[in-house]
Homo-oligomer: A and B are copies of this chain.
Amino acid sequence: MNNTKTATTNDRSSESFLQVLKSKQMSALWVTQAAESPAARGGLPYPPKLWRGGEIEALMSWATELVQPGPEAERRVLSLANPNGGTLTAAVQMVLPGEVAPSHRHTPAAIRFILKGSGASTITNGEPCLMYPGDLILTPAWSWHGHVNESDGPMMWMDGLDAPALRALRAGFVFEEYPEGGIQPATKSPGDSYNRYGAGHLRPLWGQASSRVSPLLIYPWKQTEDALRNLAKVDSSPFDDVAMEYTNPVTGGHVTPTIGCCIQLLRPGTHTRAHRHTTSAFYQAFRGSGATVIDGVSYPWEEGDFLLLPPMAWHEHINSSSTEEAILFSITDAPIFEALDLYREEQR
């Protein structure tokens, strides 16, 4: 056993004790716990936040004057920052005609939900994914990906990443440029993964076994919209109206092990009941206008806006139009919470 000075000091006061503890990289639980007041414990870890699509677009336009993707900037991305942490990040990215965002890969997984423009591509592990509004495109963890805009207009999309969760868990953020520089050449035809796994509930007989990483990289808007319309004919949720989760075709589960993607149709005049859950979400108002009431405060949104829902915040959704549909896309950390047995939900 070690003999230490700490045990032989004459000053046996609490203050001295805490000082010695600190010098040893230790702390007293009864002190640190008291510092977290019960009230603080019960509150939201961070506040909700609404970002205006118009502001984002104006800022993005400004950004096009300041920076180009390539050597000077990996990506022209504006992050919708959560200074108080969280698990997921949302951002907006723009690639102008003729621009190339060079290929790289990293530990975090990413999803893209396409907002504006038509026909630029993300090349993921050699597969070109053509981008049209409403498409969902997956970039699984550690897969090579770059973007190239060969269309004649600007291309803009929402990025969703699990980078904050990975940083929080100290899972590292390993990052690698594509060895040959520039964009990885296409080695597959556009829609390769869709052609294998995309059309309905069939899979290649020789296809891969159950895998946490979805082999399907692109979920076209047409199919998503059809699914919403079909579901609207027969059922809805009191909390989310006509809401669906995108699935990994070989498991029926979440599209990635960390990020879940959802789409929901709020029918005209809908006002959902409140519930809350341990998971958080970023919503993107894809169509229509309405409001989300979070812990009693209304956050009105219109097409193009983004909204951050903190964990355990009561929330209800409103489509404020009596004639037009509203559609919300969202990313959630439900896969993480379910995998760690931490998912809980309350209904009011």
Interface residues of A (CB under 8 A from B): 1-4, 6-7, 12, 14, 17, 20-21, 24-30, 32-33, 36, 38, 41-42, 45-46, 49, 51-59, 61-63, 65-67, 72-83, 85-87, 91, 107, 141, 165-166, 168-175, 188-189, 191-192, 194-206, 210, 212-213, 216, 219, 223-224, 226-227, 230-231, 233-235, 237, 240, 243-253, 257-258, 262-264, 278, 280, 302, 304, 310-312, 333, 335-337, 339-342
Contact = CB atoms under 8 A, between A and B. Distances in A.
8 contacts: A1-B54, A1-B302, A14-B66, A17-B59, A28-B77, A46-B170, A168-B168, A201-B201
Given A24-B59, A165-B168, A205-B240, 9 more contacts: A2-B53, A25-B49, A25-B80, A27-B79, A46-B170, A171-B340, A196-B231, A200-B200, A212-B341
| This protein's copies in its complex | 4
A65 B12 CA distance: 8
Given A2-B52, A4-B52, A174-B41, A78 B202 contact: no
A63 B31 CA distance: 12
A288 to B, nearest CB: 14
A219 B200 contact: yes
B251 A81 contact: no
A203 B253 CA distance: 9
Given A52-B2, A224-B200, A205 B243 contact: yes
A45 B240 CA distance: 39
Contact of A53 (B1, B175, B311): B1
